[in-house]
Amino acid sequence: MISFVKRCIARHLLLYVFASVFLLTKIYGQQQPTVIPDSMQNKTTEELIELIKKTYPGEIGVYEKALLDNQNLEIHIAEKYYEMGRFFYDKEAYLKSLKFLDQAILIAKAKKELKQLGKAYSLKGHVYLREGHDQQALDAYYAAIDIAITTGDIDREMITKSGLIIVLTRMNQLDKALEISEHMIQNIYLTSFVNSENHVRIYTTINDVYLAKEMYDKVLQYADEGIEISKSIDFKAGLLDLYIKKGMVFYHQKNYNKALDYLIKSEKILAAEDIENKFFPTVNINYFMASCYYQQQKYNQAITYARKSIDTLKESDKNKEPVIQLHLLLANCYRAKKDYKQALFWNDEYVRLNKYYQIHKDKTVNKIYKKETLQLESQIDVLQSEMIEENKTNYVTNSILITICLLLVSIVGIYFKKQQNSKNTFVQLVEKIDQLEAKETVKSGKIFTKELNIDDQKVNDILHKLEKLEEQEYFLKSDCNLRGMAKKVKSNATYLSKIISTYKMKNFNEYINDLRIEYVLRRLKKDKKFRSFSIKSIASEIGYKSDNSFTKHFRAKTGINPSYYIKNLEKLATEYT
């Protein structure tokens, strides 16, 4: 049996290789090579660079080809390639930038020029960061930081870490980002950046971390310091960013008029000055302007600012987090105006884009964890490398073959067992729901007091208000959270969390998820029309922001998928008609 499977694997591998070679040959055979005219052959590197810069963004392919085909692999050519990578980065032509940076890295590696190599890796990380490719950005940043530490280049280390903490903040690795930020602040005066544009840029970057951690006093402190430096050196881009940061702080502090003052200042700078890379400043201004107007119930103005960004975006930009949030804000604006058709449209767009973003985000988080555990894993690898190398081929081959055989033998049995388990689970669920519906809800005023630093009357009052919120189905709101619920019951988040933990025997998230799943189980059973909704629409209806999140919590609570539950409810309904 094993011999037969080996032959099958070998045969399929050969077919795959031949097919791949054929396809690649066909593709490359159809490509027309860029022909370099004789007049280009004698151009110097500097002349080619000037031609590219002068003709951008026109037809510059022939100049690029001539420059990249340069056979001179000296380090000064790597510096020229880096210069072109920077040029295209500033022009937001990221694919072209990467092409030249890769060539610079190739030469720097060959010449073992670490500083040049670190500089190229650092800029490559910035390119991937702008493109939203966080996993590749991390690879480049970690490579650049290792080189900077090795060479003692603290300036390069600081520049690279500025990009790194943006990725960490995006992926909610806030403690790690804060640790790096504090280190950067302590060492800023050891660099050559003092009172320069880079000094301001470091302040703008670490303020993103402080914003995420809700350390608003820190944001205002470093924003004011950065604004003072920016004004003294006439650095408009820094001034723009820090005004936006202050607007964000006052928005979060619910001082909407003051927030609008700073956002309007930043909007005027953006309109009057030739600021490079306007995407994120524009989106951030529009988002927080729209949010301020939304909070003030000025929905038409909020929609105007939200649409300012969305209507002018490229499709590739729609997968970036602030743009995704704009879609959700638009949905809320239209819902407040009772324009439910538009509200559903923008909510569906938000769900679609957020689903893609979450998948991409999870990949990056895994990369971060892998980097953090790399040193421990490397120690084990060193100790076991000889044994692994000696037995690797036989072990891997035999493991694969045995696994395939076991899967072939057991897969049918597992399938039917799983089906039976799901069926039993469904029957138990329906019986449980029937029992719950048959019982009368008995509400007792008695409270079993436990150790809690809140007086009994206050506990009773809060629990009574929680019951009212449950009756009003407040848990179905998508913005239902601990802080908001605490306001509803006239308490604070800490007390409410303790009360839920003590008297509901679960944390806040478990409490809300249990209420939602119990609600949807009952409603799906009795509401035929609700069963006809898509999983995405059901999820949105009961407060989840994505169908993945709803399915995960439903399965954790019941042991089956919502689609299976709905399908069998339909079968059950058919049997009784």
Give the C-alpha separation, 207 to 219, whole Å: 5
The number of residues in the chain equals: 577
Which residue did the predictor score with more confidence, 463 or 426? 463
For residue 288, give the nearest of 264, 318, 312 by alpha carbon: 264
Range with lowest mean pLDDT among 13-22, 365-374, 448-457: 365-374
Distance, first Cα to last Cα, the chain = 52
pLDDT at 408: 65
Report the distance separating Cα 540 and Cα 476, nearest Å. Answer: 9
How does residue 359 score in pLDDT terms, banded at 50, 70 and 90? low
Q: How confident is the model at residue 304 (pLDDT cuts 50, 70, 90)?
A: very high
CA distance 97 to 85: 4
Domains of the chain (ranges; CATH) run: 193-277 (1.25.40.10), 291-309+317-374 (1.25.40), 456-576 (1.10.10.60)
pLDDT in tens, 279-288: 788 888 999 9
Q: Which residue has the higher pLDDT, 385 or 92?
A: 92
Q: Is residue 193 within 8 Å of residue 199, measured between CB atoms?
A: yes
Instruction: Determine the average pLDDT of the residues in 322-344.
Output: 88
Which candidate, 246, 232, 559, places its Cα nearest to that of 424? 559
Residue 63 · residue 48 · CB < 8 Å: yes
Residue 65 to residue 63: CA distance in whole angstroms = 5
Sign of the C-alpha dihedral, residues 254, 258, 263, 264?
positive
195-209, 224-238, 409-423, 485-499: the lowest-pLDDT one: 409-423
Residue of higher predicted confidence among 426 and 340:
340
16: confidence class by pLDDT, cuts 50, 70, 90: very low
Query: What is the three-class DSSP state of 236?
Result: helix
What is the structure's pLDDT at 376?
31
pLDDT tens digits, one per residue of 516-568? 999 989 999 888 888 889 999 999 999 999 999 999 999 988 889 999 989 88
pTM of the model: 0.50
Complete DSSP assignment for 158-216: HHHHHHHHHHHHHTT-HHHHHHHHHHHHHHGGGSS-TTSHHHHHHHHHHHHHHHHTT-H
Within 10 angstroms of residue 465's Cβ, the number of other Cβ atoms is: 16
Give the integer Cα–Cα distance in Å for 323 and 59: 32
Confidence band (pLDDT; 50, 70, 90) for 140? very high
Residues near 410 by beta carbon (within 8 Å), at least 6 away in sequence: none
Q: What is the CA radius of gyration of the chain?
A: 30
Chain mean position to CA 120: 25
Q: What is the mean pLDDT of residues 344-365?
A: 72
Contact, 107 vs 77, CB < 8 A? yes
DSSP 426-456: HHHHHHHHHHHHHSPP---------S-SS-H
**Which of the two residues, 320 and 72, has the higher pLDDT score?**
320
Tell me if residue 45 falls in helix, strand or coil.
Answer: helix
Buried b (16+ CB within 10 A) or exposed e, 481-490: ebeebbeebe
Q: Taking residues 14-30, report their average pLDDT.
A: 43
| Cβ-contact 564, 529 below 8 angstroms | no
- Measured distance CA(202)–CA(223) in Å, rounded: 11
pLDDT for res 258: 95
Q: pLDDT, tens digit, for every residue of 231-288? A: 999 999 999 999 999 999 999 999 999 999 999 999 999 888 887 777 788 888 999 9
Judged against a pLDDT cut of 50, whether residue 445 lies above it is answered with: no
Mean pLDDT is lowest, of 24-28, 82-86, 183-187, 207-211, for 24-28
- The angle that helices 154-170 and 134-151 make with each other, rounded to 10 degrees, is 150
pLDDT tens sequence across 372-420: 334 333 332 333 343 345 445 555 556 676 667 566 656 645 655 666 6
Do you find a cis peptide bond into 37, omega within 30 degrees of 0? no
pLDDT at position 354 = 80
Closest Cα partner for 266 from 253, 434, 250?
250
Judge whether residue 436 has pLDDT over 70. Answer: no
Cα separation, 47 vs 542, in Å, equals 63
Q: Are 572 and 525 in contact (CB under 8 A)?
A: no
Handedness of CA 256, 262, 265, 271 (dihedral sign): negative
Q: In this structure, what token pair is assigned to residue 203?
A: 């302040």
The structure tokens listed for 66 are 């001539």
SS3 content of the chain, % helix, strand, coil (to 5): 80, 0, 20
Q: Please report, rounded to a whole number, the percentage of residues in the chain having pLDDT higher than 70.
A: 71
pLDDT value for 252: 93
Q: Which of 308, 247, 245, 311 is nearest to 282 (CA)?
A: 308
Check pLDDT > 90 for residue 513.
Answer: yes
Across all residues in the chain, what is the average pLDDT? Answer: 78
What is the distance between the alpha carbons of residues 126 and 120, in angstroms, rounded to a whole number?
10
**For the CA atoms of 538, 543, 547, 548, what is the dihedral angle to 10 degrees?**
-140
User: 506, 514 in Cβ contact below 8 A?
Assistant: yes
Mean pLDDT, range 445-462, rounded to an integer: 58
